[in-house]
Amino acid sequence: MKSNRKSGDPASNRKGGIPFWEKMQPKKPERAIKKEAASAPKTPRISSAIKSAQSTEKGWDQVAEWYEGLVGNEGSDYHKHVIVPALMNRLGDLKGKRMIDICCGQGFLGKMLRHAGAARVQGIDASPQLIAAARQRHADDAQQHYQVADACQPGAWADGSYDLAICLMAVHDVPDLRGLFQNIGRCLSPHGRALLVFMHPCFRFPQHTHWGWDAEKQIQYRRIDRYGSEHTIHITTHPGRKNSQQTKFYHRPLPSYINALAAAGMAITGCDELFTHRRSQVGPRSRAEHFAAEEFPMFLLWELRLCPALQ
């Protein structure tokens, strides 16, 4: 198993809102957050595509504008510094590959995949507004296609033709894990691979895992209050704001994931644990905080392949 833990890059490039995974990090000074938000590039054409798309309750439609502002053209802070580098490292040579980005959101990844040589990128997501953003973003590329679809329901898009399927930061957002994994398996050609990146279920469970400080031992520890059962958490995107939108987070322990993969005829053929690139500011606890940041992973990356023995 590999990890990115020595690749620390303390730079941070926040672009707007605060996703729940960032809220689980040490707090940044308010002025740094405001400065970064002010310097975030504006994408008016994409904002208007979102506004004119039909709004539904599907996927992340309710938070589409906020998510577009957070991710933009280059990805969020964590995409840029942790998730995409680990993904690209695993993807290898993409020349001529047919790729599908499942739960693609606003499609920021498409351009990177095409630059890395992908012949064609298909994106699917349940949110019509985020798909409108993806279409607008890549309107000049005839080899990128975006479609509204529920990743958990059978669909013609899962047609066994893809060399690579990607699903970033979404397996914990879908209610039906087995349905999602069945579809990922159905997308792949016999020698295809899938790559998933998601919140590490052993260490990152919103509202139930926290950092703590042991004054006697002078260590920062990770407190896990709950792990072994499936549980749904409602995440408020802007706590304290009236009528703030909510998304759902589905916590599942490892056997739920692994057994759902086996039921879909897939096996894990690679695994990386990904660590935050962020470092707290210099202070009396910073050494212990940096140590903890390098010991407790934030995301899990799995490489999957169809396994004939399981079919």
Ligand X SMILES: C[S@@+](CC[C@H](N)C(=O)[O-])C[C@H]1O[C@@H](n2cnc3c(N)ncnc32)[C@H](O)[C@@H]1O
Q: Is 87 in the site for ligand X (CB under 6 A)?
A: no
Judged by CB under 6 A, the chain residues 182 through 211 that form the site for ligand X are none
Closest separation between CB of residue 130 and ligand X, Å?
5
Q: Write the interaction track for ligand X spanning residues 46-75; mark x where CB under 6 A is met and - where it is not.
A: -------------xx----------x----
If the CB atoms of residues 123 and 297 are measured against ligand X, the closer one turns out to be 123
Closest separation between CB of residue 229 and ligand X, Å?
21
Q: Which of 94, 112, 170, 195 binds ligand X (CB under 6 A)?
A: 170
Q: Measuring CA to CA, which residue among 81, 36, 121, 132 is closest to residue 274? A: 81
Closest separation between CB of residue 191 and ligand X, Å?
24
Q: Which of 91, 130, 293, 300 binds ligand X (CB under 6 A)?
A: 130
Judged by CB under 6 A, which stretch of 84-92, 134-142, 149-157, 237-245 contacts ligand X? 149-157
Q: Is 17 in the site for ligand X (CB under 6 A)?
A: no
If the CB atoms of residues 199 and 306 are measured against ligand X, the closer one turns out to be 199
Closest separation between CB of residue 297 and ligand X, Å?
18
Sign of the C-alpha dihedral, residues 175, 178, 179, 181? Answer: positive
Q: Is 151 in the site for ligand X (CB under 6 A)?
A: yes
Please tell me the count of residues contacting ligand X according to CB under 6 A.
18
If the CB atoms of residues 60 and 289 are measured against ligand X, the closer one turns out to be 60
Q: Is 150 in the site for ligand X (CB under 6 A)?
A: yes
Q: Is 152 in the site for ligand X (CB under 6 A)?
A: yes
Using CB under 6 A, list all residues that contact ligand X.
59-60, 71, 103-105, 125-127, 130, 150-152, 168-170, 173-174
